[in-house]
Amino acid sequence: MTYDIPLTPRPFHELNRLDRLGHSGSHADGPAGGSPARVLTASMLRAHGVGAAEASEHCRPGGPWRMLLPGVFLLHPGPPTSEDRLHAALLHTLRRQTIPTQSGHGPAVRTTPHGIDAMITGPAALALRGFTSARPLPALDRIDVLVPATRRLRSAGFARVVRGGDLPEPEQIAGLPVAPVERALADTVADLDDAETVGRLLTEAVRDGHCEAQTLMRELEAARLLTAPHVADAVDRIVAEGRTVAEARLYDLVRTQGVPDPCWNVDLRLPGGPHLGGVDAYWPDEAVALSIDARTHRHIPGDEGGTEGLWDAYAQQRESLERLGITVVHLTPRALREAPELQAAVVRTALMAAEDREPAAYVLVLPR
CA dihedral 109, 111, 115, 120 (to 10 degrees): 40
Q: Could you give the strand order of the β-sheet that contains 143-148, starting from the edge strand earlier in sequence?
A: 159-164, 143-148, 119-121, 176-178, 171-173
β-pair partners for 290: 281, 329
> Can you give the pLDDT at residue 116?
57
> Can you give the pLDDT at residue 40?
87
pLDDT in tens, 41-51: 888 888 888 88
Mean pLDDT of the chain: 80
β-pair partners for 147: 163
pLDDT in tens, 266-309: 999 999 888 898 999 999 999 999 998 866 544 444 434 444 44
> Can you give the pLDDT at residue 126?
97
pLDDT in tens, 340-357: 999 999 999 999 998 888
Query: What pTM does this model have?
Result: 0.71
Q: Taking a C-beta distance cutoff of 8 angstroms, is the pair 84, 65 a contact? A: no
Q: By C-alpha distance, which of 152, 161, 172, 361 is closest to 276?
A: 361
> Can you give the pLDDT at residue 20?
38
> Can you give the pLDDT at residue 29?
39
Total Cβ atoms within 10 A of residue 205: 27
Ranges under pLDDT 50 in the chain: 1-36, 97-114, 297-309
Number of residues that make up the chain: 368
Q: Taking a C-beta distance cutoff of 8 angstroms, is the pair 69, 97 a contact? A: no
Q: Taking a C-beta distance cutoff of 8 angstroms, is the pair 285, 362 a contact? A: no
Measure CA of the first residue to CA of the last residue in the chain; give whole Å: 51
